[in-house]
Amino acid sequence: MPTAQVLDSHTYPHFDFRTPPELSGTEAARHEVVIVGGGPVGLAAALDLARRGRRCVVLNGADTVSVGSRAICWAKRSIEICDRLGFGDRIVEKGITWKDGRVFVGDENIYNFDLLPEQGHRFPAFVNLQQYYFEEFAVARVQNEPLIDLRWQSRVTGVAQDGDAVTLTVETPDGVYTLTADYVLAADGVRSAVRRALDLEFSGKVFEDRFLIADVKMKADFPTERWFWFDPPFNPGQSALLHRQADDVWRIDLQLGWDADPDEERKPENVIPRIRRMLGPDADFDLEWVSVYTFQCRRLEKFRHGRILFIGDSAHQVSPFGARGGNGGLQDADNLIWKLDLVMRGSAPESLLDSYDDERIFAGDENIANSTRSTDFITPKSPASKMLRDSVLALAKQYPFARRLVNSGRLSLPAVLSNSPLNTPDSAAFLGPMRPGAPCLDAPVTVADGSAGWLLRQLGDGFTLLGFGAAASALTEDGFAEAMRAGPVPVAILAVSDDPVALGDPDGLASERYDARDGALYLIRPDQHVAARWRTVDPAAILTALRRACGLADT
Amino acid sequence: MAGLITDPNMTDPDGFYEDLVSAHRGLSDAESAALNSRLVLLLANHVGDSSVLAAALEAAVNTGSATGR
């Protein structure tokens, strides 16, 4: 369990408790959605609901944003999600953009990696930004959003549900109240009060090792890369990680071993000499935040429990190597909210929510598998495992093949939901990564007035048909839009072609990434994952795929 | 065991075996184990195909020791 010590260079905003209707004696409404937890995942869920015109209450037990840097690496897919929610650019502007990593064995740099070697994407592979900034930017959006009722200093202490509603008990500075909702999203983190109130098993693997996180403030001219050491001279026999964040704050992560005493190790008088050994005797730095922690990789058996849905760390926990916690959680919210909206609208059956379980348990297991493999490589559990790990490191100095086996963290990529029941299997041959279930790749486009734009920016909050070439012209023919009105939900139409009213593909990258040389049509879900694709335009096939993507396959 | 060659396939089996034993001469148990694991990794990369590697791993696990207990 992490214990933090803050040495206060960030000024945390304070948010007042405001008496809610439930305590002021006015008649309290039944709420459509209540989100428990106001971290990155809960706030993203709230903003997504608001974009769909839905009200929600967000309960945050604290009176400020995340204390301490905590999650710092925001993956490209997360920034794309935040961009749709209205604060992607702020993350990039404030954060530190990076895509390169270096791996050292001892003091020798054995290899480097590049997480986004190609051009033509609006957002970079990763941006490092302290979690408190992420939350401040999200809260700023929430405060401009009248549909979201964000309640600070409001802690959930009890949960009950029947087939019809969920009732939460909320403790506040002014007393306790109950509140009733159609749906509750539990975004309340690894120690989820909702999960504990329901007494749900949260099982998995504990790693018997301790790590020290020290965020330090310093002026340094290290490049903006992720540096990882196995067995460095300043931390012999263990690992180390150095990563830059905003405001000249640097994340240092030092493996301590299982025998380390967490209470001793987090004392500044013990932390500072460790950091000095790493940075050199002349380094000028201040401690910003310190935490000693152990890892666990575990998840709930199901993420949906009736009208309660678990998103983020409340549902699944991973080790930090790979940045798969926060990034995975944002994809949970992205996956769930459009489904919840369609169910509440009556456009989709309640069973569509089970596809959240199918898809995000699959993704959660992928994150857990990657995180477990990295952790097993970084902290080998047996003499044989350590022998193999050290052999890989020894070979990696000379042989390129072994560098691919070195695992200092496989950094978060969005899950490809290949086996989702919402997908329609291909009926034509395609090349490239954009298969059903894949998250859409970005590409530069020109918009109608001729100015430069980005493909993902053109996708709205609903379903989209994206046509290329001959398929694009068929989408604009008379009667096509009319035919689409027979579907369960509206579908936006986007065409990429030479037609002046369509999106232009100036570098050919969109056509290349979507294998659209011979014309192509993609049905894209509200969360920007591919639901189906074709070479030709057949309205009946499109409507069938659309119904399937809305969970209406059997009706 | 799709793809794993278990019939004789080496160009010089006796020579290879001799070289393998020689490479371990004078090594401690730990050094021998490390040598073997480097060798496994080099050969595994040469084989490449994950189904062949899985079949080889399974065959090794299931063979047990000739001098068994």
Confidence (pLDDT) at B65: 74
A456 phi/psi in degrees, rounded to 5: -65, -30
* Residue labelled with tokens 């070697």: A117
Measured N-to-C along each axis, helices A40-51 and A76-85 cross at an angle, to the nearest 10 degrees, of 40
Tell me how close the Cα of A387 comes to any Cα of chain B, in angstroms.
6
User: H-helix or E-strand containing A171?
Assistant: strand A166-172
The architecture CATH gives domain A444-549: 3-Layer(aba) Sandwich (3.40)
Spell out the per-residue pLDDT of chain A, length 555, in tens.
344 455 667 899 999 999 999 998 777 789 999 999 999 999 999 999 999 999 999 999 999 999 887 899 999 999 999 999 999 999 999 999 999 999 999 999 998 999 988 999 999 999 999 999 999 999 999 999 999 999 999 999 999 999 899 999 999 999 999 999 999 999 999 999 999 999 999 999 888 899 999 999 998 888 899 999 999 999 999 999 999 999 999 999 999 999 999 999 999 999 999 999 999 988 899 999 999 999 899 999 999 999 999 999 999 999 888 999 999 999 999 999 999 999 999 999 999 999 999 999 999 999 999 999 999 999 998 999 999 999 999 999 999 999 999 999 999 999 999 999 999 999 999 999 999 999 999 999 999 888 999 999 999 999 999 999 989 988 988 899 999 999 999 999 999 988 888 899 999 999 999 999 889 999 999 999 999 999 999 999 999 999 999 999 854
Say if B47 is an interface residue toward chain A (CB within 8 Å).
no
What is the domain partition of chain A in residue ranges?
A: 10-21+29-92+117-201+298-371, 204-296, 444-549
Query: Cβ neighbours of residue A119 under 8 Å, at least 6 residues apart?
Result: none
CB atoms within 10 A of CB B14: 8
Question: In the Cβ-directed half-sphere of A256, how many Cα atoms lie within 13 Å?
Answer: 25
Whether residue B3 is contained in a domain is answered as no
The residue type at A77:
R
Confidence (pLDDT) at B64: 78
Residues of A with Cβ-Cβ distance to B42 under 8 angstroms: 395, 399
Question: In the Cβ-directed half-sphere of A110, how many Cα atoms lie within 13 Å?
Answer: 27
Residues 48-67 of B with CB under 8 A from A: none
Domain count of the fold of chain B: 1
Tell me how close the Cα of B37 comes to any Cα of chain A, in angstroms.
6
Tell me how close the Cα of B40 comes to any Cα of chain A, in angstroms.
9
A204-296: CATH topology: D-Amino Acid Oxidase; Chain A, domain 2 (3.30.9)
CA B40, CA A492: separation in Å to the nearest integer? Answer: 54
Helix (H, G, I), strand (E, B) or coil at B47: helix
Candidates A388, A403, A404, A405: best to mutate against B (most CBs of B within 10 A) is A388
Domain with B48, as residue range(s), is 34-58
Whether residue B69 is contained in a domain is answered as no
Out of B30, B33, B42, the one facing A395 most closely (by C-beta) is B42
CA A94, CA A83: separation in Å to the nearest integer? Answer: 14
Contact, A193 vs A156, CB < 8 A?
Answer: yes
Handedness of CA A103, A106, A109, A111 (dihedral sign): negative
The residue type at A181:
A
**Contact between chains at B38 and A405 (C-beta distance less than 8 A):** no
Confidence (pLDDT) at B2: 57
Tell me how close the Cα of A393 comes to any Cα of chain B, in angstroms.
10
**Contact between chains at B37 and A387 (C-beta distance less than 8 A):** yes
Whether residue B63 is contained in a domain is answered as no
Contact, A412 vs A367, CB < 8 A?
Answer: yes
**Contact between chains at B41 and A402 (C-beta distance less than 8 A):** yes
**Contact between chains at B34 and A387 (C-beta distance less than 8 A):** yes
**Contact between chains at A388 and B33 (C-beta distance less than 8 A):** no
CA A488, CA A485: separation in Å to the nearest integer? Answer: 8
Whether residue B41 is contained in a domain is answered as yes
Tell me how close the Cα of A383 comes to any Cα of chain B, in angstroms.
10
Residues of B with Cβ-Cβ distance to A391 under 8 angstroms: 34, 37-38, 41
Q: For the structural domain made of A10-21+29-92+117-201+298-371, what CATH number should be given?
A: 3.50.50.60
Whether residue B15 is contained in a domain is answered as no
> What residues in chain A have their Cβ under 8 A from chain B's Cβ atoms?
384, 387-388, 390-392, 394-395, 399, 401-402, 405
**Contact between chains at A399 and B42 (C-beta distance less than 8 A):** yes
Whether residue B28 is contained in a domain is answered as no
Confidence (pLDDT) at A528: 98
The one-character DSSP state at A350 is T
Confidence (pLDDT) at A260: 95
**Contact between chains at B38 and A391 (C-beta distance less than 8 A):** yes
* Residue labelled with tokens 């990369």: B45
Contact, A373 vs A410, CB < 8 A?
Answer: yes
Tell me how close the Cα of A401 comes to any Cα of chain B, in angstroms.
7
**Contact between chains at A402 and B34 (C-beta distance less than 8 A):** no
Query: Cβ neighbours of residue A331 under 8 Å, at least 6 residues apart?
Result: A77, A78, A81, A360, A363, A414, A415
Residues of A with Cβ-Cβ distance to B45 under 8 angstroms: 399, 401-402
Residues 10-29 of B with CB under 8 A from A: none
**Cβ pairs bridging A and B (under 8 Å):** 24
Whether residue B9 is contained in a domain is answered as no
CA A269, CA A271: separation in Å to the nearest integer? Answer: 6
DSSP per position, A427-489: SS---SS--TTPBPPP-EEE-TTS-EEEHHHH--SSEEEEEEHHHHHHHTSTTHHHHHTTSSS
Residues of B with Cβ-Cβ distance to A387 under 8 angstroms: 30, 33-34, 37
Contact, A97 vs A121, CB < 8 A?
Answer: no
Nearest chain A Cα to B46, which residue?
A401
Say if B43 is an interface residue toward chain A (CB within 8 Å).
no
Whether residue B53 is contained in a domain is answered as yes
**Contact between chains at A388 and B41 (C-beta distance less than 8 A):** yes
Token digits of residue A537: 């335009």
Tell me how close the Cα of A399 comes to any Cα of chain B, in angstroms.
9
Nearest chain A Cα to B30, which residue?
A387
- Of A493, A457, A484, A475, give the one whose Cα is nearest residue A545: A484
**Contact between chains at A387 and B38 (C-beta distance less than 8 A):** no
Per residue, what are the HEC states of A29-82? CCEEEEEECCCHHHHHHHHHHHHCCCCEEEECCCCCCCCCCCCCEEEHHHHHHH
Confidence (pLDDT) at A555: 47
